[in-house]
Homo-oligomer: A and B are copies of this chain.
Amino acid sequence: MSGAKKKTTIVLFSGDYDKAMAAYIIANGAAAYDHEVTIFHTFWGLNALRKDEPLSVKKGFLEKMFAKMMPRHADKMGLSKMNFAGMGPKMIKHVIKKHNAMTLPQLIEMAKEQEVNLIACTMTMDLLGLQQEELMDGIDYAGVAAYLGEASDGSVNLFI
């Protein structure tokens, strides 16, 4: 700990818009505090990293089904509570605009600018049939060992 930067790590497991917002708000805050910050995206949290446009990558049947069922891009994610078939996310986005707060895609952009380390979990990418071409640029690919390497001397470690 002597002089070294403090570390914050977040496992983003959830594919909910609001939970991902919370994760990125904490990450951006910690980066502003000069922490070295890592967000490890696994399972549904990978959807936050998906590109907006549809891509014609080759997939098996199950992988195609997952790809269809899961929201493509951060902006399409639902809420953990009161989703109301998409009404909830619209309301949240309205109040975000009204209060000049940042949307999830903006928070992700800011995290990149602040050099937050965005990692996509390769094992769950395999399970859900997601390929690197489908995820945004400028992110890293790693497994649980890389996460644990960061987390085991992290000051703040969260699972969201």
Contact = CB atoms under 8 A, between A and B. Distances in A.
Interface of A: 6, 8, 11, 13-15, 18-19, 22, 25-26, 29-30, 32-33, 35, 42-44, 60, 62-63, 65-66, 69-70, 80-82, 91-92, 94-96, 98-99, 101, 123, 126-129, 144-145, 147-148, 151-160
B70 A99 contact: no
Contact of A152 (B91, B95, B156): B156
Nearest to A29: B144
Contact of A13 (B8, B22, B129): B22
A158 B157 contact: yes
B144 A127 contact: no
Contacts of A65: 91
B22 A42 contact: yes
Given A13-B19, A29-B144, A42-B22, A95 B159 contact: no
The CB with the most chain B CB atoms within 10 A, among A13, A69, A101, is that of A13
Contact of A127 (B13, B32, B101): B101
A148 B26 contact: yes
Contacts of A22: 11, 13, 42-43, 159
B98 A62 contact: yes
Given A13-B160, A29-B144, A152-B156, 18 more contacts: A8-B148, A11-B22, A13-B18, A13-B22, A14-B80, A29-B147, A30-B152, A33-B148, A35-B148, A35-B152, A62-B95, A65-B91, A92-B127, A95-B128, A95-B129, A101-B126, A101-B127, A158-B159
